[in-house]
Amino acid sequence: MAVFTRGFGSRRRESDPRVPPGQYVTEDFPVLSAGPTPRIPTEDWTFGIRTEDGAVRSWTWDEFMALPIETVETDIHCVTRWSKLGTTWRGVSLDTLFAQVETSAEHVMAHSYGGYTTNIPLDDLLDGRAWVAFEFEGEPLAPEHGGPARLLVPHLYFWKSAKWVRGLVMHEQEDPGFWEQNGYHIHGDPWTEERYW
């Protein structure tokens, strides 16, 4: 039985095919963070990928900046129901990073400065669909939005785009990260509304 809300709908926005179901468009840039914002000077920053045999490939900030940098224009979607359209980022593709790593594990746990974690299948990070981004709309990424660098996986809900990312750890099986243990879906596709447990 449909439940109608009497008198609702007079302030509706135009629908937009770029907006996944259950989302609304926002012009500003809300912040979803479970705790305080860590501050990481770029001179102390490193990013590493640890494989299933314990090998670590890591980059300093300067080494990272010397990698091929891509400009990404994309829409982003937060599980708290806002979407932001046409955002522009600069960062390094995960394809570039994984080209320097030998792994046969299929799952990834992203780890952040401050202790945040999120799990992502490796397939979702490859083929031009994920980056480590350090610039937003032409400016260095602000700390509250994940600077100096965050994961950018825009085809999944944005909690997967770990702020303050410091590394990826390869896992043989799918283990849940922080929000995945605290109520959010293990995968997080916004188009099929993989929001919650």
Closest by Cα among 167, 138, 170 to 151: 167
The minimum distance between CB 37 and another protein, in angstroms, equals 6
The minimum distance between CB 82 and another protein, in angstroms, equals 8
- Convert residues 16-45 into a mask of x (bound to another protein by CB under 8 A) and - (unbound): ------xxx-xxxxxxxxxxxxx-------
Residue 92 is classified by DSSP as E
Judged by DSSP in three states, 88 sits in strand
Judged by DSSP in three states, 123 sits in helix
Does residue number 2 form part of the binding site for another protein (CB under 8 A)? Answer: yes
Quote the Cα angle for 189-115-186, to 5°: 20
Which of 16, 102, 183, 191 lies at the binding interface for another protein (CB under 8 A)? 183
Residue number with CB closer to another protein (3 or 99): 3
Residue 196 is classified by DSSP as B
* Site residues for another protein per CB under 8 A: 1-13, 22-24, 26-38, 80-81, 114-115, 142, 144-145, 178-179, 181-183, 195-197
